[in-house]
Structure 1
């Protein structure tokens, strides 16, 4: 949730030309794993119910777009190389922008530049 405000602004500014979706995947910085200090207290998900519960924390932050949850076999995270987080732009079912891996490569500003060129 480090750059959630930047993401929310992106949704506000480009919702007229793009549909946004957040896919909640495995917890990258779980309390019982490799966690940052001052991080939200979330253990690694062992069940779908735990993952859904953790995703509700994000939903409460109102990301301004739908939030869905990856399956417990992490099929989406594996297919898109999304762990710990990554931004994509798809057009007509094809990936036209693939952002760097988060947290350091997670750049809503890069997506903003990309989408501005599509207007």
Structure 2
């Protein structure tokens, strides 16, 4: 949720020309793992239901676009290398642009 306001502004700026989608992946900084202080209290997902419950916290923050959840085998995260976070632009089914956000 650290950069959510920046993401929301991106959606507002480009929603007329692009569709946005957030894919919720494995929790990188879970409370029962490598947690930051002042972070949302989310334990490492043990099931798809855990991951869906955690994604609902993000949905409550209104990201201005659909939120979907990666499967427990982390297929999306593996294919797109989404750590710490990434922005991809796809056109006609092909990645035409990607940017990795620096760790803070």
Same fold (TM over 0.5): yes
Where structure 2 has 5 or more consecutive residues not aligned to the other structure, the ranges are none
Aligned to 1:81: 81
Detail structure 1 runs of 4+ shifted over 3 Å in the superposition.
101-104
Distance 1:102 1:53 in 2: 27
Aligned positions, number: 104
Larger helix fraction of residues: 1
Contact 1:26 1:83 in 2 (8 A): no
SS at match of 2:86: coil
Is residue 2:25 matched to residue 1:25? yes
SS at match of 2:100: coil
Bigger mean CA deviation after superposition, 51-60 or 78-87: 78-87
| CA shift for structure 1 position 84 | 3.3
In the alignment, structure 1 residue 45 sits paired with structure 2 residue 52: no
Alignment map for 1:52-63 (pairs within 5 Å): 52-63=52-63
CA RMSD in angstroms comes to 1.2
Conservation of the 8 A alpha-carbon contact between 1:82 and 1:101: no
TM-score, scaled to structure 1: 0.83
Extract unaligned runs of 5+ from structure 1: 105-119
Aligned to 1:3: 3
Q: How does 1:81-100 map to 2 (within 5 A)?
A: 81-100=81-100
Structure 1 pair 3–16 and aligned structure 2 pair: CA distance change class (3 A): same
Distance (whole Å) between structure 1 residues aligned to residue 9 and residue 78 of structure 2? 28
| Structure with the bigger percentage of strand | 2
Q: TM-score, normalised by structure 2?
A: 0.94
From the superposition, tell whether residues 4 and 44 of structure 1 become closer, same or farther in structure 2 (CA, over 3 Å).
same
